[in-house]
Amino acid sequence: MASGGKLKISKNPGEVIAVIRRVLAENGRDYIWHYVFATVCLLAIAATTAFSAWIMRNVIDDIFYRQRADLVALIAFAVAAAFVVRGLATYGQAVTLAKVGNNLVARYQQRLFEHLLKLDLAFYSETRSSHLAAQINQNVVGIRDLLGMTLTSVARDAVSLVGLVAVMILQDPMLAMIGLLIGPPLVYTVNKLMRRLRRVTRESVDVNSRLIGAMQEATQGIAIVKAFTMEDQLSAKMAKLVADAEYRSNKIARVSERLTPIAEMLAGFAIAGVIAYAGYRATSGIQPPGSIFAFITALLLAYDPARRLARVQVGLERSLVNARMIYEVLDIEPQQGDAPGAGKLSVPAGDVRFEGVSFAYPGGERVLDDVTFDAEAGRTTAIVGASGAGKSTLLTLLERFYDLDAGRITIDGTDIASVTKHSLRQAMAYVTQHPYLFEGTIRDNIRYGRPDASNAEVEEAARRAQAEDFILQQPQGYDTPLGENGITLSGGQRQRLSLARAILRNAPILLLDEATSALDTQSEARVQQALDEVMKGRTTIVIAHRLSTVIDAGHIVVLEHGRVVEEGTHAALMAAPSGVYARFHSVQSERGLGLVDDVKAPAQPEETTADVRADRRKA
């Protein structure tokens, strides 16, 4: 079983009983009365099925053979009552098991989602999220089907079969022995087929998860697909996956359906033998025909539950594969737990210090090596350096997305490893270069910064983030539903919503990871104006590619190959012409990017919003 990171799939068939026990242990108590009621209904179905075969002897012998008119009404009433009970019981068990099954699916979906949220980033770096989501969607119903099939096969089909076999034995032991000769070869055939079906089903689940995942990725990246004319390549890839999925499904059908002709042939031989022997006895006039008719009726009725019991193992194998794969995800232990006795972080000032921090991603080379610097409370600290120098890694470590290999990070003197991750992250607002927007309205996405915020606070945060102008232009203003990741908004608009979320959070520490580098000049000016607003009075750590955005920072830290090589203000660093920072500035100036002497024009409003805001509020 995987303990973290990559999901490992177990193939041990001996886990079958353990999976069933685990499912029952986790869910049986919560649904005990539902299962009791369903079991009573299923037993009623089994009893009325056996009764239908038993009463055939009375129908034939007493009504047709002995012609007892006084028993006609009683027998007819008994048959009608049996079918009424059977109909009501069938409805009761079907509705009850459906209700329990639907609740189980909802419960495991919620449980899986909550568990996935607890897993560290190392797991997601090694597991494709689209494939994981597709696999979970396919497998979550396995728990429901596992319990439902187990109950119905035991309480209805097994009991019905036992009752009908008892009727056959009581009516005629010799005929019963002939009819039951099909049992051993049928059991042998089922066991042989199941070994093959278990392997094929797992292969099918894996292929289908890749297929659905590929479809999801293609639709999410449709702009890139069209821009690079990747349609033909992806169509060919998809055709191969579809053909593979079709082949696996056909293979499952071939393996699982082999049971049907074998069972039919065995049943045919058994029924033919019974009819031949019973016909010989009937023509000899040894006994009245009622017992023979009752026996044949029981035999024919017994075939249906026997066939279902033989096929239920096919369904159980599929469900067990699904259930095992769900538990393989649930059993992955988060690698980043809170320390024993971890307390809540208190941030009276917001002073952040990195002390001898070293770090390497799992399976990779060292990214940071003995990094030490201070980000003083209430001022802006900028981190600059070439791509791959480890700038963004510093923020991921401060957020405790990963644990350090060496050193420590403190906030106001408190080691962040000694506090809860929840309290640590509540003390920070994180704005990335590529903001992510979630399903819901504009108001919902801003409110994720602080769920208990009022509508007035949400709108105030949007105004401070220079976002209200374009929000009020949307069809429903703040209540406009967003497309996937806000696809209908520009990059600058999405970034300003991300900033509004950060402003609403009102955290003492602000982390900005190249928040403007991907924007055009006009969008950058408006976002920078919003940033200047949100950075006031906060400890801010800025990662910047364009040096022009950090020249006013109170402290600049220069990283190279994972080590701090220079520190100081812009003026102090520029005073060393041979230094790394000065070299960066020179290169960017030559490319027209290092705009140290540039004077930023004030951001021009996209439009006047006073009237729009007033009209929107009136509406």
In which band, very low, low, confident or very high, does the pLDDT at 15 lie, cut at 50, 70 and 90?
low
Residues spanned by CATH 1.20.1560.10 within the chain? 13-330
- How far apart (Å, rounded) are the C-alpha atoms in residues 355 and 415? 10
Kindly tell me if the per-residue pLDDT of 603 is higher than 60. Answer: no
Question: Per residue in 1-12, pLDDT tens?
Answer: 343 333 343 444
For residue 103, the 8-state DSSP code is: H
Question: Per residue in 267-295, pLDDT tens?
Answer: 777 777 777 777 776 666 655 666 677 77
In which band, very low, low, confident or very high, does the pLDDT at 115 lie, cut at 50, 70 and 90?
confident
- How far apart (Å, rounded) are the C-alpha atoms in residues 338 and 362? 20
Residues spanned by CATH 3.40.50.300 within the chain? 352-618
Question: Per residue in 32-53, pLDDT tens?
Answer: 888 889 888 888 888 888 888 7
Tokens found for residue 605: 């409003």
Q: Could you identify the residue written with the tokens 């007035």?
A: 456
- How far apart (Å, rounded) are the C-alpha atoms in residues 40 and 96? 11
Kindly tell me if the per-residue pLDDT of 170 is higher than 80. Answer: no
Q: What is the mean pLDDT of residues 405-412?
A: 92
In which band, very low, low, confident or very high, does the pLDDT at 509 lie, cut at 50, 70 and 90?
very high
Q: What was the pLDDT predicted at 231?
A: 81
Task: Give backbone dihedrals phi and psi of 217, rounded to 5 degrees, phi first.
Answer: -65, -40
pTM across the whole model:
0.66
Which has the minimum average pLDDT: 40-44, 186-190, 527-531?
186-190
| CATH class as words, domain 13-330 | mainly alpha
Angle at 216 between CA 210 and CA 220, to 5 degrees: 145
Kindly tell me if the per-residue pLDDT of 616 is higher than 50. Answer: no
- Nearest Cα neighbor of 144 from 329, 18, 326 is 326
Q: Is 546 helix (H, G, I), strand (E, B) or coil?
A: coil
Kindly tell me if the per-residue pLDDT of 598 is higher than 60. Answer: no
Options 3.30.499.10, 3.40.50.300, 3.30.420.270, 3.40.50.720; CATH for 352-618 is 3.40.50.300
Question: Per residue in 287-346, pLDDT tens?
Answer: 566 667 777 777 777 777 777 776 676 677 777 777 887 888 888 887 777 778 888 988
Kindly tell me if the per-residue pLDDT of 533 is higher than 50. Answer: yes
